[in-house]
Amino acid sequence: MKSLPHANWLRTFEAAARHSSFAAAADELGLTPAAVSQQIKLLEQTLEMKLFTRLPKGIALTDIGQAYAQPVRSSFQQLRAATDDLFQPKQKTTLRIRASISFGVLVLAPRLAAFRALHPEIEIVLSTTVWSDRMSDATIDVDIRYGNGDWEEPDIWPLGEGQAALVCHPNDAFALSRDPSLLHTADTVPIIGSEGDWPNVFAVLGLEQKMPTPWLRVDSSLLALESVAGGRGVAIVNRVFSKSYVQRGALTEPFEQNIKTPGNFYVVAKPGSPKHSKIELFYNWLYSDINSVRS
């Protein structure tokens, strides 16, 4: 097996093949035509094959030269692309992301270090809100909303199918799991706007649709989770929020039920944003990370 020819010879061959001219290749590479001709001669001797036909006016690739030029050119293009991707400084981009307080605290904040490690060229500015259904702030590039995805913006991407679960303090889990009817007198913590999840839970558990009087109403999943983790009540919370609480033992799911939520979380891009490719990159990363955790 022949050894790999000298890289400079291959570079010269690629330029000469592309230009069909030793003189043009010499201009591109900063060499003399004689130096180009000499390097091509050395390459042909090493390969024991003619790569060019010398014509009265110019040169032409032989059949074997034509076949060799394609993989050589492709190899240099791949090497150039890899070098640019790994070592060329990337242009800094700032993504201004807005999310609900619960999504920002429980989902985004713990994950952004991993995203920045993968994409150090993308700086993140994160802000939160309680309710949002429009891109009212001109400085926002990305909005993460809960709903049906029927907003006016053209670029709206779902973050997977929404699932919720009933959670309680570990001290209450055993009694509830043995007697689900205790929910009729439990201290519930409904989230404003998601009260409709409770009848679904009662239906799944085969219980009478008799709703207990809430001991506390809150406007975010974060408040519901922290209230119940403090030792009192039960709440129905999207699993993307409750999972970390369950994993560390602060809360538990007394029943094995899946509740499909009427809405879901979506990534909404600012219309006409010049950062569209970066927004899509962020969405693809977030979708993959959230759904791998869910599975």
User: What is the C-alpha separation between 85 and 174, in angstroms, rounded?
Assistant: 55
pLDDT in tens, 198-227: 888 888 888 887 777 889 999 899 999 999
Q: What is the pLDDT of residues 246-270, one digit of tens each?
A: 999 999 999 877 778 778 899 999 8
The tens digit of pLDDT for each residue in 16-49 reads 999 999 999 999 999 999 999 999 999 999 999 9
Give the residue extent of every domain in the chain: 7-87, 93-161+263-294, 163-260
> Residue 132 has what pLDDT?
64
Q: Is the pLDDT of residue 14 over 80?
A: yes
Options 3.40.190.10, 3.30.460.80, 3.30.2010.10, 3.10.180.10; CATH for 163-260 is 3.40.190.10
Residue 264: how many other CB atoms lie within 10 Å: 19
Q: What is the pLDDT of residue 1?
A: 43
pLDDT at residue 295 greater than cutoff 50: no
CATH of 93-161+263-294, one of 3.40.190.10, 3.30.930.10, 3.40.50.1980, 3.40.50.2300: 3.40.190.10
Res 159 pLDDT > 50: yes
pLDDT (0 to 100) of residue 32: 94
Model confidence over 103-148: pLDDT tens digits? 999 999 999 999 999 999 899 999 988 766 666 666 889 999 988 8
Q: Matching CATH topology for 93-161+263-294 and 163-260?
A: yes
pTM above 0.75, yes or no: no
* Domain 7-87: assigned CATH number: 1.10.10.10
pLDDT for the residue 289: 87
294 has pLDDT over 70: no
Per-residue pLDDT tens digits for 57-107: 889 999 999 999 999 998 988 888 788 767 766 678 899 999 999 999 999
